[in-house]
Structure 1
Amino acid sequence: MGRGRDGCKSLPGEKDHVEGGIEQRGWGGLVAIRQQRAAGWGGFGPDSKVGDLEWEDAITLSATVVEGDKYNYRWIKWLRCLVAHPTMGETGTEHFRRMKKGDETTWSELPEELLEIIARRLTCLFDYVQFGAVCQSWHSTMVNMHQHLTFWDPWLMLPEKQDKSMIRSFYILSKRNIFELKLPEAHAKRCIGSSKGWLVMVDVSLSIQLLNPYTRVQFQLPHQLTFQDQNNFAQGYTSEELRDFFILKVVLSSSPSNPDYISIAIYSDWGKLAIARSGDEVWTTIPSEWFAFTDVIYYKEQFYAINWNGEVVSCDVGAHPKTTLITTPVRESYGQKYLVECSGELLQVIREVIFEDAPHKTIWFSVFKLDFYKKLWVEIKSLGDHSLFLGYNNSFSFCCNDSSATGVKRDCIYFTDDYLEAHQGLQNEWAGSDMGVFHLEDGRIEPHYSGYACHPFSLPIWYTPNIG
């Protein structure tokens, strides 16, 4: 590994050349500064921990970061000083302080346009937060841009620690490491949904909240006892059991910062649907001749739900809620099914699980696209540059144009263990273990997180950060 003109070690595979005072970088990068400088920033603070990042985990900047002759060499020199590599023996900050005092260039002098280009290339929220912690001008850029940046790589929220430390761990795919966050707002609560950057949590008192783990802002949803049939279902169950098994999933139409947002829940052992608007004090059941729903999605200003048999209904959430059958089952298949939007299309995913041995195990996924005109499902064999994320979360797709930056593999299904019936009454080591990455191309399944992630009620769930 050589050194550039500024004395910084060159990046692996980097091609530096200067033409007319302009340096074109083929493998440049911006890595989160090792110093924890994010104290007081919502959920990220002194209690947050992130392991050292390797070069392979760096957020890369392509040659287009420096375009034409607009930015001269000294700006790029300061970008290089941000890089922290274990073999350098110092952080980018230390390198900055070590450089000769006679150079008037500072981090705050980087052109705002260049900072915006860099910020738009960050796909991991943690890097974005650290980006804003460099100095006041960088922070201002982050504040000005955050509402326009929604492309964050998915995180896997791991089960609650058993040591009562109130620490929640998030596995970051793009970093291949764990970010720990002290989050007392989620302590001893079951996560029954992850939607639009918000977690849906229910505690042992059966109170339900929306929680943004980054900002720690919370919104209250109607109490679980306001569900129809809750009293009949509650007979013979403890409050812990009602917390763990009564609600399957909650999905939002939009962020709760929108005063018109609607929550929809799948609840009870009958798999019914219920809605709650902002400000509602009770859940309103949607009358339906269909039941045993397994997933629900807000797609093109409309809620759709799919049940165990594969019947798909649209949900009218107006003054007189009702459901209307959209399609019959794509084939005779009983089991977990999902609805997910991908490239503007509505997809149905069928998950095949076997129960021959303990624990249960997922062996296959089939994907279908809905032809709305013909009301028919057409099987597809590839997702192209997209991958799907399924589980207790709001099912979603993710574009993998730059898989090296996001850590997400294309044409795959990332899944977690959400087979609620298999967890009921279990206090063993298996609950939450059925998760992995399914490759549509050849059907193989590999792990996405290899650590221990089992828990009787606090199961792993996909989360997409939202700093708004």
Structure 2
Amino acid sequence: MAAWSDLTNDVLEYITSFLTFPDHCRFGAVCKNWRSVSKSRRYPPAPQLPWLVLEEEKETRKRKFYSLSDAKHYSIEIPELHGRYICGSSHGWLFAVDIKITGILINPFTREFFELPPFPPFCEDVDVNTLIEKVPSDYMGGPRDYTFEEMQTTIVAKAILSHDPKERSDFTAMIMFGEMNTPAFWRPGDLCWTVVDGQQGSSYDIIYFKGNFYVLSPVNVLYVVDFEPEPKLRVVGPQIEVYGNGLEQYLIDFDGNLLLIERFCGLDEGNLITNGFNVIEPNLEENILYEWYDIDGYALFVGRNSSIFVNASHFPTCKKNGIYFTHITKSKYACHDFGVYDMTDKKISKLYSFEVFPPPVVLPVWLTPSTW
């Protein structure tokens, strides 16, 4: 039998295409040659289950993650994330906000990052003298003043990318910010975020789908973002009827199908909990709605992340026809409500003890890990 050290690079590169993310990292730690091979993009990486991005450890300041594939926690030193609040994930990258209301876009495992300008309406650095300094209420559109510490965790409700920055340099970042979840975008080289006009009411979700950004409104309207001649929202598709109390909605690209995930919530002894989900396909061409009763054995992951779906049959620990959810609501109870909904038997189960999330500081975020 040949020694592992004698394996040629093309064989090693092929082996890496079957590795889970933790094993891929271990592979690259063997020696310099294997580390170089681990960064090869000759073969597409193996499908990966999303990780949960958790809180920062107080003592070490390491960022905590939870891997679904091996049901383990990992604590990783990522200095760029120290003291930053995670407000979104997309294509394996995280959006993180600091106390000065500026942000970075970072791949936490390669530590490549982009500096983001201060979030709207700031176009200059914010001078934060103390955490109790007040921000005028008209900034957030709400009835009271906000501290910068509060703004750090509430200013951006969601953030997504059009493309992986490692794949395309001309990507676009889109956020929902402020009390009304107003859409705004940024591109590399821009000095400020550009606010998109035409919004009626606040927004529920945003998605990049088949070359366009779409915004979902709570008044059951789906918008497409027109960038020219001036950025604005234009109504498309059928009006979407929704029911229930405490409802949230998510848009997801399911293998080329635009799906709307309706999440039904209610109060149980003062705690906000999830009761169930509906899956609807708004057909933009025929202007009608289709209800889905299963998702062909796949699994969906919804929350503050860009849409994620995986073939559950590839992962023994993944539930087929399952909707894995975290919370994006700015409620002190929100961190306690996450798990997986089985579309087959319509039951909800917990992933594991939720006591690892200290409310209301941290909301877990789904992330597809990548070092490629």
Q: Answer yes or no: same fold by TM over 0.5.
A: yes
Q: Does residue 253 of structure 1 match 2:174? A: no
- Aligned match of 1:96: none
Tell me the CA shift for residue 412 of structure 1: 0.5
Tell me the CA shift for residue 146 of structure 1: 6.7
CA distance in 2, matches of 1:442, 1:261: 40
Amino acid of the structure 2 residue aligned with 1:250: A
Q: Does residue 236 of structure 1 match 2:145? A: yes
1:288 to 178, 195, 198: 198
Task: Tell me if structure 2 keeps the 8 A contact 1:400–1:410.
Answer: yes
CA distance in 2, matches of 1:129, 1:435: 28
Tell me the CA shift for residue 306 of structure 1: 0.8
SS at match of 2:40: helix
- Aligned match of 1:131: 27
Larger Rg: 1
Matches within 5 A, 1:288-437: 288-333=198-243, 335-404=247-316, 407-420=317-330, 422-423=331-332, 430-437=333-340
SS at match of 2:41: helix
Task: Tell me if structure 1 keeps the 8 A contact 2:106–2:114.
Answer: yes
Unmatched segments (≥5 aa) in structure 2: 124-134
Q: Does residue 110 of structure 1 match 2:7? A: yes
- Aligned match of 2:349: 446
SS at match of 1:128: helix
- Aligned match of 1:148: 44
Tell me the CA shift for residue 164 of structure 1: 4.1
Residues 251-297 of structure 1: CA deviation (Å, up to 9, x unaligned): 11112343211111111112211111111111111111423111111
- Aligned match of 1:221: 116
Residues 124-169 of structure 1: CA deviation (Å, up to 9, x unaligned): 21211212333455334322237732732210111223x2421111
- Aligned match of 1:270: 180
2:55 to 159, 164, 167: 159
- Aligned match of 1:457: 361
**CA 1:139–1:218 in structure 2 vs 1: closer, same or farther (change >3 Å)?**
closer
* Structure (1 or 2) with the greater helix fraction: 1
Task: Tell me if structure 2 keeps the 8 A contact 1:275–1:317.
Answer: no
Task: Tell me if structure 1 keeps the 8 A contact 2:156–2:177.
Answer: yes
- Aligned match of 1:205: 100
Task: Tell me if structure 2 keeps the 8 A contact 1:193–1:250.
Answer: yes
CA distance in 2, matches of 1:329, 1:365: 19
* Identity of matched residues, %: 29
Task: Tell me if structure 2 keeps the 8 A contact 1:108–1:138.
Answer: no
**CA 1:147–1:165 in structure 2 vs 1: closer, same or farther (change >3 Å)?**
farther
Matches within 5 A, 1:25-174: 74=1, 105-122=2-19, 124-145=20-41, 148-149=44-45, 151-161=47-57, 163-174=58-69
- Aligned match of 1:29: none
Task: Tell me if structure 1 keeps the 8 A contact 2:216–2:222.
Answer: yes
Task: Tell me if structure 1 keeps the 8 A contact 2:238–2:283.
Answer: no
**CA 1:140–1:241 in structure 2 vs 1: closer, same or farther (change >3 Å)?**
closer
Task: Tell me if structure 1 keeps the 8 A contact 2:62–2:75.
Answer: yes
State the Cα RMSD in Å: 2.2
**CA 1:116–1:215 in structure 2 vs 1: closer, same or farther (change >3 Å)?**
closer
Residues 28-67 of structure 1: CA deviation (Å, up to 9, x unaligned): xxxxxxxxxxxxxxxxxxxxxxxxxxxxxxxxxxxxxxxx
Tell me the CA shift for residue 457 of structure 1: 2.4
- Aligned match of 2:128: none
Task: Tell me if structure 2 keeps the 8 A contact 1:297–1:340.
Answer: yes
CA distance in 2, matches of 1:135, 1:356: 53
Tell me the CA shift for residue 394 of structure 1: 1.3
* Structure (1 or 2) with the greater strand fraction: 2
Tell me the CA shift for residue 227 of structure 1: 5.5
Task: Tell me if structure 1 keeps the 8 A contact 2:16–2:38.
Answer: yes
Task: Tell me if structure 2 keeps the 8 A contact 1:286–1:321.
Answer: yes
Unmatched segments (≥5 aa) in structure 1: 1-73, 75-104, 424-429
